[in-house]
Amino acid sequence: MHIGNYTASTALPTVEGKYQFWRTLDHLVGGVAPAQRFAVQRRRLKSPPSSLPKPVRPIPEVCGLSDAEFHAQFVQRGRPVVLKGKAADWPCVQTWSMDWLREHYGQDRVDIFDPLDAASNEVNYDVEVTTLSRVLDAMEQGDVSKYSRFNRLLYDHPELVEDFDWQWLHRMRSAWSSGKTYQVFIGGKGTRTSLHCAGEHNLFTQVHGKKHWFFIEPQADAWLRPPITRTPYFHSLFNPEAPDFDAYPGMASTQVWECTLEPGDVLFNPPFWWHQVHNVTPSIGVGFRWFDLIDNLKSNPTGTALTLLATNPPIWTATQHRTDFAAIFKRMQSTS
């Protein structure tokens, strides 16, 4: 089945259903995280017939799409798309730069952490407290460990929201959506975040520099084998930049997508689409996130259930601190 430029999942429905059944049991009664009680049953599931790996395909890029067309073709169908140049005239794209950040906000506190450790099934709880100017210094020196994820810049300085077309961003939510969360990402060339997904919509504005994204559809859960950590965020050790098809044979027949965002591009990242990101140049990007239960259930019913049944932290704690991801992360650490 084709939807625009997309091809439907190659995951076998019976395998996907069996995998999600054992995954849910491990989440509920699988023991200490990462839960392994039913890992054997999950690993026994047969991958699709081996084939030559599919070539990576580009995420569609569109210009001049109306709001109604955007909703009908991508939001309601849960498909990622790049709105090319959508934010080119926004003040943030015209004004923001690394020098501008240093001049105006260099003394802001920054929490550096990467919970999605690409080398381990366990969550990495190390946190470094520093300042934005020190992050920018490290970027100039090529230190890729200093990546400011989920920065609170727009909450510590709420006047900066006016540098975005926030009214348009808010209109893209449905009437029954929850949350209007802004998250800033500031990283140097070569900084990256490994493969992960979560149950929120994300309109991501590329403000400065270039950022490359890989995408894999939600139905690939069975082939990506995310560790069961009972958090509302999921990650996988599969690396689409250097794929290991011996360790992840099902991924050889699974489509991987990609795009490179430039300043002024807005990316729509639907709920539960797996994505891995690296900064091609020093980069500033801002995500605008919201939760929509109906869209989540359409995209990935099991992922939605595991999100609502999360215990590290519970979903109400994540919702309470949705504007401060560091607070959520610290709660995860205290309850682990």
Are 128 and 149 within 8 A, CB to CB? no
Instruction: Write the pLDDT tens digit of every residue in 158-168.
Output: 999 999 999 99
The ranges assigned to domains in the chain are 2-335
Instruction: Write the pLDDT tens digit of every residue in 36-90.
Output: 999 999 988 887 776 788 899 999 999 999 999 999 999 999 999 999 999 999 9
Q: Is 2-335 assigned to CATH 2.60.120.650?
A: yes
Q: What is the pLDDT along the chain (336 residues), one digit of tens a residue?
A: 334 466 545 555 688 899 999 999 999 999 998 999 999 999 888 877 767 888 999 999 999 999 999 999 999 999 999 999 999 999 999 999 999 999 999 999 999 887 665 555 566 667 789 999 999 999 999 999 899 999 999 999 999 999 999 999 999 999 999 999 999 999 999 999 999 999 999 999 999 999 999 999 999 999 999 999 998 889 999 999 999 999 999 999 999 999 999 999 999 999 999 999 999 999 999 999 999 999 999 999 999 999 999 998 888 777 776 777 666 666 665 444
pTM for the structure as a whole: 0.92
| Distance (Å) of CA 171 to CA 168, 176, 213, 260 | 5, 12, 25, 25
In a 10 Å sphere around its CB, with 0-12 CB exposed, 13-18 middle and 19+ buried, how is residue 26 labelled? buried
Q: What is the 3-state secondary structure (H, E, C) of the chain?
A: CEECCEECCCCCHHHHHHHHHHHHHHHHHCCCCCCCCCHHHHHCCCCCCCCCCCCCEECCEECCCCHHHHHHHHHCCCCCEEECCCCCCCHHHHHCCHHHHHHHHCCCEEEECCCCCCCCCCCCCCCEEEEHHHHHHHHHCCCCCCCEEEECHHHHCHHHHHHCCHHHHHHCCCCCCEEEEEEEEEECCCCEEEEEEECCEEEEEEEECCEEEEEECHHHHHHHCCCCCCCCEEECCCCCCCCCCCCCHHHHHCCCEEEEECCCCEEEECCCCEEEEEECCCEEEEEEEEECHHHHHHHCHHHHHHHHCCECCEHHHHHHCCCCHHHHHHHHHHHC
Are 213 and 267 within 8 A, CB to CB? yes
